[in-house]
Structure 1
Amino acid sequence: MSDDHQQTFEQASAGASATFPMQCSALRKNGHVVIKGRPCKIVDMSTSKTGKHGHAKVHLVAIDIFTGKKLEDLSPSTHNMDVPNVVRNEYQLMNIDDGFLNLLTADGGEKNDVKVPEGEIGDQIQAAFDNGDDIMVTEHCLGWKPAPKS
C-alpha cells in the first residue's frame, strides 16, 4: 500500500452558527424563531389538537426584529424550526458625552460607541442619568446576517 495519500480539508469558521434547530413544541412566547428566513420575536402562539392526520399544529405569530413586520407560520409540533442565536450583554452607564453613552462592561472595559437613542427612550435615559440613578443598559446581539436581497 502506498503512503502517498493527500487529503484536503476545507477550513470552517470558528464562530458559532447563526441559528440552531429547536422542536416547534419547545418554542415559547417572547422567545425567538426564524420565519420565512427572518429572525423574529414570538408574540403569540397556540397549539391545535391532534387531527386525523396525526400531528398537532403550532400557530406562531412573531415580529421581525429588524423591520417590525408581523409574520405568521403554522408547523407540526414535532418538526424543528431554526432559532437565531441571541447573546445578551449588560453594561452600566457611567456618563453621557456628546450624544454617546459611556458604558462599563462586565470585565471592566469601556464601550463608548453607543448613541443615546432618539425619542422617548433617550429622554428617559437622560432624565434618569441627570437624576443620579444607576442605569443598566442591555444589548441583544444576534449571530445573524440577513440574506442579501436579490
Structure 2
Amino acid sequence: MTSVPKQASAFRKDGHIILKDHVCKIVKMHGHAKINFTGLDIFSNNKYEELQSATHSMQEPEVKRDDYDVIDIVDEFASLTNIEGDSLELRIPKNEIGENLKKGFEEGKIMIAIVTSAMGETRITQFKEEK
C-alpha cells in the first residue's frame, strides 16, 4: 500500500499528504469549509499548495524512514546496510546533505544515512554521525 484516502479536514500540520502528485509534509493549512494546504516535497523541498473542500478525500502517503550504515561510497552511489542486514545502493543527493555525507565518510567517520521511502521512491534525505 502506498497511500490511503483521508478526509481533508482530518489532516494535520506536520503530517504527510499528496499535493499535485508530490509527497509533501504539511507546513501550513487553514480554512474551514475549504482548506488551503501548503506542503514541502519530502524529497526536493519544493513548495506545493492546493485548495480543497474539507469533506473531500485526499491521499495520505505511507512514508517510511530507516537508518542505514554507509558501507562504501563509489562515484555518486552509497552502499548501505541496515540492522536487519538489508542492503541498498542509492545515489548520493547532489546537495549539502550529499556533500557532507561524502566528506564525513572520506574522513573515516561512521556515517548513518537516513533513507526515506514513499510512493515507490527511495532516497537519502538526511544523515548523522555515529558517536
Structure 2 length normalisation: TM-score? 0.68
Using the aligned pairs only, state the percent identity. 32
Asked if 1:115 is matched to 2:99, the reply is no
> Secondary structure in 2 aligned to 1:96?
strand
- Structure 2 portions without partners, runs of 5+: 122-131
**More displaced 10-residue stretch of structure 1: 101-110 or 60-69:** 60-69
Judging by fraction of residues, say which structure has more strand. Answer: 2
Aligned position for 1:44: 28
User: Is residue 2:106 matched to residue 1:130?
Assistant: yes
Alignment partner, residue 25 of structure 1: 9
TM-score normalised to structure 1 length: 0.61
C-alpha RMSD of matched pairs (Å): 2.8
SS at match of 2:9: helix
Unaligned stretches of 5+ in structure 1?
1-15, 49-55, 146-150
Residue 19 of structure 1 contacts residue 144 of structure 1 at CA under 8 Å; is this kept in 2?
no
After superposition, the Cα gap between the structure-2 partners of 1:40 and 1:143, relative to the gap in structure 1 and judged at 3 Å, is closer
In 1: Cα distance, 2:75 partner to 2:52 partner = 49
Number of positions where the alignment pairs a residue of Structure 1 with one of Structure 2: 120
Give the deviation of 1:71 after TM superposition.
3.1
Question: Which secondary structure does the structure 1 equivalent of 2:13 belong to?
Answer: coil
Deviation at 1:19, TM superposition (A): 1.9
1:102 and 2:111 correspond: no
The aligned residue for residue 126 of structure 2 is: none
**Alpha-carbon deviations, 1:3-57, whole Å to 9, x = none?**
xxxxxxxxxxxxx2x3201222221233322234x12312321234xxxxxxx43
Asked whether the equivalents of residues 24 and 76 of structure 1 are also in contact (C-alpha less than 8 Å), the reply is: yes
Task: Give distance in 1, aligned partners of 2:120 and 2:85.
Answer: 27
Tell me if structure 2 keeps the 8 A contact 1:88–1:140: yes
Distance across 1 between alignment mates of 2:36 and 2:78: 40
CA separation of 1:71 and 1:125: change in aligned 2, threshold 3 A: closer
2:58 paired residue number: 81
